[in-house]
Amino acid sequence: VARPRRIESVFLNIPYDEAFEALYIAYIVGLTQLGLRINAALAVPNQGRLGTIVNLIEQSDFSIHDLSRIELSRGVPRFNMPVELGLSLYRSHVAQDKHRVFIFESRRYRAQQSTSDVNGIDPQVHRGTAKGLMAGLRNIFRQLGDATTVPEMLASYRAVQRKLPELRRNSGGKSLFEAAVFQDITVAALVESQKLLERRTRKDPRHSTGR
Amino acid sequence: VSAHVIANPVPTPEEMGDILGLSSDRVASVRRIMETPIRQKASGRSGSAFRAGARKKSPRTSPRAAAKK
Protein backbone atom coordinates (compact mmCIF):
# COMPACT_ATOMS: atom_id res chain seq x y z
CA VAL A 1 0.00 0.00 0.00
CA ALA A 2 1.44 3.38 -1.01
CA ARG A 3 2.08 5.74 1.87
CA PRO A 4 0.04 8.94 1.73
CA ARG A 5 2.14 11.87 0.50
CA ARG A 6 3.03 14.64 2.89
CA ILE A 7 0.60 17.51 3.01
CA GLU A 8 1.45 20.79 4.72
CA SER A 9 -0.54 21.22 7.88
CA VAL A 10 -1.93 24.01 9.98
CA PHE A 11 -2.77 24.09 13.68
CA LEU A 12 -6.16 25.75 14.01
CA ASN A 13 -6.72 27.68 17.23
CA ILE A 14 -10.31 28.90 17.21
CA PRO A 15 -13.26 28.82 19.63
CA TYR A 16 -15.07 25.53 19.24
CA ASP A 17 -18.59 26.56 20.17
CA GLU A 18 -21.97 27.10 18.51
CA ALA A 19 -21.65 30.87 18.24
CA PHE A 20 -18.59 30.34 16.06
CA GLU A 21 -20.13 27.56 13.94
CA ALA A 22 -20.27 29.41 10.60
CA LEU A 23 -16.63 30.51 10.79
CA TYR A 24 -15.60 27.05 12.00
CA ILE A 25 -17.06 25.56 8.79
CA ALA A 26 -15.48 28.36 6.73
CA TYR A 27 -12.03 27.65 8.21
CA ILE A 28 -12.31 23.92 7.47
CA VAL A 29 -13.54 24.43 3.90
CA GLY A 30 -11.11 27.26 3.09
CA LEU A 31 -7.97 25.67 4.49
CA THR A 32 -8.76 22.23 3.08
CA GLN A 33 -9.46 23.63 -0.39
CA LEU A 34 -6.14 25.45 -0.31
CA GLY A 35 -4.52 22.02 0.07
CA LEU A 36 -3.77 22.05 3.79
CA ARG A 37 -4.41 19.49 6.49
CA ILE A 38 -5.90 20.89 9.69
CA ASN A 39 -4.67 19.88 13.12
CA ALA A 40 -7.22 20.79 15.77
CA ALA A 41 -7.57 20.06 19.47
CA LEU A 42 -11.10 18.72 19.08
CA ALA A 43 -12.58 16.41 21.67
CA VAL A 44 -9.36 16.44 23.67
CA PRO A 45 -10.08 16.03 27.40
CA ASN A 46 -8.77 18.71 29.77
CA GLN A 47 -6.35 16.27 31.34
CA GLY A 48 -3.35 16.05 29.03
CA ARG A 49 -4.83 18.70 26.78
CA LEU A 50 -1.80 20.98 26.95
CA GLY A 51 0.53 18.15 25.91
CA THR A 52 -1.73 17.31 22.96
CA ILE A 53 -1.78 20.94 21.86
CA VAL A 54 2.03 21.23 22.05
CA ASN A 55 2.33 18.06 19.94
CA LEU A 56 -0.16 19.35 17.37
CA ILE A 57 1.72 22.66 17.09
CA GLU A 58 5.02 20.78 16.67
CA GLN A 59 3.53 18.66 13.88
CA SER A 60 2.19 21.71 12.04
CA ASP A 61 3.92 23.92 9.48
CA PHE A 62 1.67 26.86 10.37
CA SER A 63 -0.75 27.94 13.00
CA ILE A 64 -3.78 30.17 12.76
CA HIS A 65 -5.02 31.90 15.89
CA ASP A 66 -8.41 33.55 15.79
CA LEU A 67 -8.48 36.20 18.50
CA SER A 68 -11.95 37.51 17.66
CA ARG A 69 -13.51 35.88 20.70
CA ILE A 70 -11.22 36.56 23.65
CA GLU A 71 -13.87 38.63 25.39
CA LEU A 72 -15.31 37.93 28.84
CA SER A 73 -17.21 34.68 29.19
CA ARG A 74 -19.31 34.61 32.39
CA GLY A 75 -17.19 37.44 33.73
CA VAL A 76 -13.86 35.72 32.98
CA PRO A 77 -11.67 36.51 29.96
CA ARG A 78 -11.07 33.61 27.56
CA PHE A 79 -7.32 33.00 27.77
CA ASN A 80 -7.01 29.65 25.96
CA MET A 81 -6.47 31.18 22.55
CA PRO A 82 -3.76 33.65 23.65
CA VAL A 83 -2.03 30.83 25.56
CA GLU A 84 -1.95 28.68 22.42
CA LEU A 85 -0.75 31.67 20.40
CA GLY A 86 2.14 32.01 22.87
CA LEU A 87 3.04 28.34 22.46
CA SER A 88 3.06 28.72 18.66
CA LEU A 89 5.17 31.88 18.79
CA TYR A 90 7.72 30.02 20.89
CA ARG A 91 7.63 27.10 18.44
CA SER A 92 8.19 29.52 15.55
CA HIS A 93 11.13 31.07 17.42
CA VAL A 94 12.90 27.81 18.26
CA ALA A 95 12.15 26.21 14.88
CA GLN A 96 13.74 29.22 13.17
CA ASP A 97 10.64 30.18 11.24
CA LYS A 98 9.86 26.65 10.06
CA HIS A 99 6.56 27.19 11.84
CA ARG A 100 4.71 30.33 10.70
CA VAL A 101 2.13 32.02 12.87
CA PHE A 102 -0.92 33.87 11.51
CA ILE A 103 -3.49 35.84 13.47
CA PHE A 104 -7.12 36.48 12.54
CA GLU A 105 -9.36 39.07 14.15
CA SER A 106 -12.85 40.39 13.52
CA ARG A 107 -11.97 44.06 14.10
CA ARG A 108 -9.14 46.12 12.70
CA TYR A 109 -6.40 47.15 15.21
CA ARG A 110 -7.98 45.24 18.11
CA ALA A 111 -5.25 42.56 18.19
CA GLN A 112 -2.63 45.30 18.40
CA GLN A 113 -4.44 46.64 21.49
CA SER A 114 -5.25 43.33 23.18
CA THR A 115 -1.94 41.61 22.40
CA SER A 116 0.58 44.34 21.65
CA ASP A 117 3.52 41.88 21.84
CA VAL A 118 2.48 40.61 18.40
CA ASN A 119 2.53 43.98 16.69
CA GLY A 120 5.02 42.57 14.18
CA ILE A 121 2.34 40.23 12.83
CA ASP A 122 -0.35 41.82 10.67
CA PRO A 123 -3.66 40.22 11.64
CA GLN A 124 -6.12 39.25 8.92
CA VAL A 125 -9.44 40.93 9.65
CA HIS A 126 -12.46 38.77 8.73
CA ARG A 127 -15.18 41.05 10.20
CA GLY A 128 -16.95 37.90 11.42
CA THR A 129 -17.89 36.83 7.88
CA ALA A 130 -17.04 33.74 5.86
CA LYS A 131 -16.16 35.97 2.89
CA GLY A 132 -13.72 38.03 4.97
CA LEU A 133 -12.24 34.84 6.34
CA MET A 134 -11.70 33.29 2.89
CA ALA A 135 -10.11 36.52 1.66
CA GLY A 136 -7.78 36.46 4.68
CA LEU A 137 -6.78 32.87 3.95
CA ARG A 138 -6.05 33.77 0.33
CA ASN A 139 -3.88 36.65 1.55
CA ILE A 140 -1.64 34.35 3.56
CA PHE A 141 -1.62 31.24 1.35
CA ARG A 142 -0.95 30.91 -2.36
CA GLN A 143 -1.38 27.81 -4.46
CA LEU A 144 0.83 26.58 -7.26
CA GLY A 145 -1.08 26.17 -10.52
CA ASP A 146 -4.85 25.96 -10.28
CA ALA A 147 -5.71 28.43 -7.56
CA THR A 148 -9.04 28.22 -5.76
CA THR A 149 -10.68 31.63 -5.79
CA VAL A 150 -12.58 33.24 -2.92
CA PRO A 151 -15.98 32.97 -4.73
CA GLU A 152 -15.26 29.28 -5.39
CA MET A 153 -14.39 28.69 -1.74
CA LEU A 154 -17.56 30.50 -0.69
CA ALA A 155 -19.69 28.41 -3.06
CA SER A 156 -18.16 25.26 -1.55
CA TYR A 157 -18.74 26.62 1.95
CA ARG A 158 -22.43 27.11 1.16
CA ALA A 159 -22.67 23.64 -0.40
CA VAL A 160 -21.16 22.07 2.73
CA GLN A 161 -23.43 24.15 4.98
CA ARG A 162 -26.51 22.87 3.13
CA LYS A 163 -25.39 19.29 3.77
CA LEU A 164 -24.46 19.71 7.45
CA PRO A 165 -27.53 17.88 8.85
CA GLU A 166 -26.76 14.85 6.66
CA LEU A 167 -23.03 14.98 7.39
CA ARG A 168 -23.74 15.13 11.11
CA ARG A 169 -26.16 12.19 10.87
CA ASN A 170 -23.70 10.21 8.77
CA SER A 171 -20.93 10.52 11.34
CA GLY A 172 -23.26 9.87 14.26
CA GLY A 173 -22.12 13.05 15.99
CA LYS A 174 -24.33 15.19 18.20
CA SER A 175 -22.24 18.30 17.70
CA LEU A 176 -20.33 19.68 14.73
CA PHE A 177 -17.29 19.99 16.99
CA GLU A 178 -16.71 16.26 17.30
CA ALA A 179 -13.71 14.74 15.55
CA ALA A 180 -15.79 12.47 13.29
CA VAL A 181 -17.92 15.33 11.93
CA PHE A 182 -14.83 17.49 11.53
CA GLN A 183 -13.20 14.76 9.41
CA ASP A 184 -16.31 14.34 7.27
CA ILE A 185 -16.53 18.10 6.65
CA THR A 186 -12.87 18.00 5.56
CA VAL A 187 -13.60 15.22 3.06
CA ALA A 188 -16.79 17.02 1.92
CA ALA A 189 -14.77 20.17 1.17
CA LEU A 190 -12.46 18.11 -1.05
CA VAL A 191 -15.41 16.56 -2.91
CA GLU A 192 -16.42 20.17 -3.68
CA SER A 193 -12.83 20.90 -4.81
CA GLN A 194 -13.05 18.07 -7.30
CA LYS A 195 -16.37 19.42 -8.60
CA LEU A 196 -14.71 22.81 -9.12
CA LEU A 197 -11.88 21.23 -11.10
CA GLU A 198 -14.31 19.21 -13.21
CA ARG A 199 -16.34 22.36 -13.94
CA ARG A 200 -13.18 24.19 -15.01
CA THR A 201 -12.10 21.30 -17.22
CA ARG A 202 -15.52 21.25 -18.91
CA LYS A 203 -15.30 24.99 -19.55
CA ASP A 204 -11.71 24.84 -20.78
CA PRO A 205 -10.37 21.36 -21.61
CA ARG A 206 -6.78 22.70 -21.39
CA HIS A 207 -7.29 22.85 -17.61
CA SER A 208 -6.07 19.75 -15.92
CA THR A 209 -5.57 18.86 -12.26
CA GLY A 210 -1.80 18.62 -12.75
CA ARG A 211 -1.79 15.20 -11.14
CA VAL B 1 2.48 39.62 5.40
CA SER B 2 4.21 37.64 2.67
CA ALA B 3 2.02 34.81 1.42
CA HIS B 4 3.22 31.25 1.77
CA VAL B 5 3.15 29.16 -1.39
CA ILE B 6 1.64 25.77 -0.65
CA ALA B 7 3.87 23.17 -2.26
CA ASN B 8 1.45 20.26 -2.47
CA PRO B 9 -1.57 20.10 -4.78
CA VAL B 10 -5.01 19.84 -3.21
CA PRO B 11 -5.47 16.20 -2.13
CA THR B 12 -8.38 14.12 -3.36
CA PRO B 13 -11.06 13.11 -0.81
CA GLU B 14 -9.65 9.57 -0.91
CA GLU B 15 -6.08 10.78 -0.23
CA MET B 16 -7.30 12.86 2.70
CA GLY B 17 -9.29 9.85 3.92
CA ASP B 18 -6.03 7.83 3.98
CA ILE B 19 -4.24 10.59 5.86
CA LEU B 20 -7.03 10.87 8.42
CA GLY B 21 -7.27 7.09 8.76
CA LEU B 22 -10.83 6.90 7.43
CA SER B 23 -12.20 3.79 5.75
CA SER B 24 -12.95 3.94 2.03
CA ASP B 25 -16.63 3.29 2.86
CA ARG B 26 -16.73 6.37 5.03
CA VAL B 27 -15.17 8.55 2.33
CA ALA B 28 -17.60 7.09 -0.21
CA SER B 29 -20.56 7.90 2.04
CA VAL B 30 -19.45 11.55 2.35
CA ARG B 31 -18.97 11.68 -1.42
CA ARG B 32 -22.51 10.33 -1.91
CA ILE B 33 -23.95 12.97 0.42
CA MET B 34 -22.17 15.80 -1.38
CA GLU B 35 -23.05 14.51 -4.85
CA THR B 36 -26.75 13.94 -4.15
CA PRO B 37 -28.80 16.97 -5.18
CA ILE B 38 -30.81 18.55 -2.39
CA ARG B 39 -34.47 17.54 -2.57
CA GLN B 40 -36.91 20.42 -2.87
CA LYS B 41 -39.78 20.52 -0.39
CA ALA B 42 -42.79 18.88 -2.02
CA SER B 43 -45.78 21.24 -2.19
CA GLY B 44 -48.22 18.42 -2.96
CA ARG B 45 -48.97 19.95 -6.37
CA SER B 46 -47.11 19.54 -9.63
CA GLY B 47 -45.37 22.60 -11.09
CA SER B 48 -48.03 23.11 -13.78
CA ALA B 49 -50.90 22.69 -11.27
CA PHE B 50 -49.23 25.19 -8.96
CA ARG B 51 -48.84 27.75 -11.77
CA ALA B 52 -52.46 27.20 -12.93
CA GLY B 53 -53.66 27.75 -9.37
CA ALA B 54 -51.64 30.93 -9.11
CA ARG B 55 -53.08 32.25 -12.40
CA LYS B 56 -56.63 31.56 -11.26
CA LYS B 57 -56.03 33.19 -7.94
CA SER B 58 -54.36 36.37 -9.10
CA PRO B 59 -57.42 38.33 -10.49
CA ARG B 60 -59.27 37.87 -7.22
CA THR B 61 -56.37 39.02 -5.12
CA SER B 62 -55.22 41.95 -7.28
CA PRO B 63 -56.08 45.38 -5.83
CA ARG B 64 -57.82 46.43 -9.08
CA ALA B 65 -60.14 43.42 -8.99
CA ALA B 66 -60.89 44.06 -5.38
CA ALA B 67 -61.75 47.70 -6.16
CA LYS B 68 -64.19 46.65 -8.92
CA LYS B 69 -66.04 44.45 -6.46
pLDDT tens for residues A53-68? 999 999 999 999 999 8
pLDDT per residue over A132-153, tens digit each? Answer: 999 999 999 999 877 889 999 9
Identify which of B8, B18, B30 has the shortest CB distance to residue A35. Answer: B8
Going by C-alpha positions, the residue among A25, A66, A33, A30 that lies closest to residue A168 is A25
- B15: β partners: none
* Contacts with B4 from chain A: Cβ below 8 Å: 62, 100, 140-142
Are A164 and A189 contacting, i.e. CB atoms less than 8 angstroms apart?
A: no
Q: Which long-range contacts (CB under 8 A, 24 or more apart) does A197-205 make?
A: A197/A146, A200/A146
Beta strands A76-77 and A72-73: pairing type?
Answer: antiparallel
- Interface predicted TM-score of the whole assembly (ipTM), two decimals: 0.84
- Among B3, B6, B15, whose Cβ lies nearest the Cβ of A4? B15
pLDDT category of residue A75 using cuts at 50, 70 and 90: confident
More confident residue, A42 or A139: A139
Rg of chain A on CA atoms, in Å = 17
Residue B9: how many other CB atoms lie within 10 Å: 17
CA distances from A101 to A61, A62, A76, A91, A183 (A): 9, 6, 26, 9, 23
The sign of the dihedral angle between the CA atoms of B32, B38, B41, B44 is negative
Helix or strand holding residue A190 (H, E): helix A179-203
pLDDT above 70 (res A26):
yes
Is residue B6 a contact partner of residue A34, using CB atoms and an 8 Å limit?
Answer: yes
- Let me know how long chain A is: 211
Q: Which residue of B has its CA nearest to A172?
A: B26
Residues 55-114 of chain A with CB under 8 A from chain B are: 62, 100, 102
Is B33 near chain A, with CB under 8 Å?
yes
pLDDT exceeds 70 at position B43: no
